[in-house]
Chain A
Amino acid sequence: MDMKKIFDWTKNYLKSLNWIVLIGIAAFCTALAVVNNIRVDKDKSVDWIGSQDVLAKPAEIL
């Protein structure tokens, strides 16, 4: 199967997807994530932007 056929197949497949459903669910998930972070206890919530500490690697990993 040559590259052009693979590219055309991929393009047609992506066109066949319902992007409204995909983006809609993704947007819904993002909104729920925001609500969840507000909903949970303070010690379980996170800052919106940022990261967490990288813990020290245990001395012995099996």
Chain B
Amino acid sequence: MKKNTIISAVLLSIASVLVAIGVAEISFPESFLTFTDQDWLNDLWPKAYRYNIHVGLGAVIVACALIVPAYRLQKDFAIRALETLFRVGIGGMFIFASIFKIQDPHQFATLVAQYQFFSALHLDFINNFFALVYPQFELWFGLAMIFTPWVKESAFAIFWMFVSFIIALAWALWNDLGITCGCFELEGAQDKAEAWTSLIRDLILIWPTLWLALRKNKSLIGVWKK
């Protein structure tokens, strides 16, 4: 029993690292977790940097494959560990993403306006208020997911935020708007690839959020109590 728990823990740890690497390769190039932009790799294989999305998706697929034996070895432990990892990971990501948007509402409002989503619906007037309120939703529902027992409610809210991000990014790509995602920084228009990678990232992360929205309400400590 103990041996199974240890093996399950090791498999889940490897899966967590692979998911982190996968999301970094897809969405956060040139960060400390990425490989395909490393000089030593590009010296060996000059086109390595072009395959960041493939490497990222591959890492996520391998991580998902590792979860299966971890779950079969020790179901109870695997479920608790996955809930903990997802809550901290997704909650933490939303908290981190909200900070710059709260610090500079004007720039975030400008970025939201570039999507031209509200103008298409003749709702331009709510652009600024949306840009003020949405980052607060990200911050406080992210905090609620980690630090409160209300995982169902916070995951429900975050799920719908993911739906809105996916709609906005798909809209931007469909209309060839050529804008930056604005998810984690507020730089000017970037290449279209960023919108695609952000869309892929959100399409991956919405699924564990949906799973969390179906869990019973418990604090993170309560998850580990017998």
Residues in A with CB closer than 8 Å to B104 are 40, 44
Complex Cα gap A49–B125 (Å): 5
Residues in B with CB closer than 8 Å to A33 are 129, 132-133, 135-136
| B105 CB, min distance to chain A CBs, angstroms | 5
Q: Which of B103, B106, B153 lies in contact with A46, CB distance below 8 A?
A: B106
Residues in B with CB closer than 8 Å to A48 are 128-129, 132
Q: Does A57 contact B (CB under 8 A)?
A: yes
**Contact between B152 and A46, CB atoms less than 8 A apart:** no
Interface membership of chain B positions 146-185, coded 1 if the CB is closer than 8 angstroms to chain A and 0 otherwise: 0000101110110000000000000000001110000000
Residues in A with CB closer than 8 Å to B214 are 13
For the A-B complex with A29-B139, A55-B110 known, give 16 more contacts whose Cβ atoms are closer than 8 Å.
A22-B153, A22-B156, A25-B137, A30-B136, A33-B129, A44-B103, A44-B104, A44-B107, A46-B105, A46-B109, A46-B131, A49-B129, A51-B128, A54-B116, A54-B119, A55-B188
16 A-B pairs with C-beta separation under 8 A = A21-B144, A22-B157, A29-B136, A29-B140, A33-B133, A36-B105, A37-B105, A40-B103, A46-B109, A46-B132, A52-B112, A52-B127, A53-B110, A57-B178, A57-B189, A62-B191
Would you call the interface of chain B mostly helix, strand, loop, or mixed? helix
7 residue pairs, one from A and one from B, having the closest CB atoms: A62-B191, A61-B178, A29-B136, A51-B127, A52-B113, A33-B132, A52-B110
Which residues of B are interface residues toward A (Cβ below 8 A)? Answer: 102-107, 109-110, 112-114, 116, 118-119, 124-129, 131-133, 135-137, 139-141, 144, 150, 152-154, 156-157, 176-178, 188-189, 191-193, 214, 217
Residues in B with CB closer than 8 Å to A26 are 137, 157
Instruction: Give how many A-B residue pairs fall within 8 Å (CB-CB).
Output: 114
Which of B153, B157, B176 counts the most A-chain CB atoms under 10 A from its CB? Answer: B153
